[in-house]
A = this chain, B = another copy of it.
Amino acid sequence: MKALKERIMRDGKCFDGGILKVDNFINHQMDPILMKSMAVEFVRRFASTDINKVLTVEASGIAPAIMVGYLLELPVVFAKKKEPSTMENMLATSVFSFTKNTSYTVCVSADYLRPGDRVLFIDDFLANGNAAKGILELAEKAGATVAGMGFLIEKAFQHGGDELRALGIHVESLAIIESLDNCQIKLRD
Q: Which residue of B15, B73, B109 is within 8 Å of A32 (Cβ)?
A: B73
Q: Which residue of B29, B31, B62, B86 is within 8 Å of A62 (Cβ)?
A: B62
For residue A170, which residues in chain B have a CB less than 8 angstroms away from its CB?
none
B66 and A30 form a contact (CB under 8 A)? yes
B109 and A30 form a contact (CB under 8 A)? no
Q: Is the interface of A mostly helix, strand, loop or mixed?
A: mixed
- Beyond A19-B86, A73-B33, is A109–B28 a contact (Cβ under 8 Å)? yes
Count of chain A residues with Cβ under 8 Å from any Cβ of B? 34
Within 92-114 of A, Cβ neighbours of B (below 8 Å) are at 108-109, 111-112
Residue A21 interfacial (CB < 8 Å): yes
- Beyond A21-B86, A36-B70, A109-B23, is A30–B75 a contact (Cβ under 8 Å)? yes
- Beyond A15-B86, A70-B35, A70-B36, is A112–B62 a contact (Cβ under 8 Å)? no
Closest 3 CB pairs of A and B: A58-B59, A32-B70, A32-B69
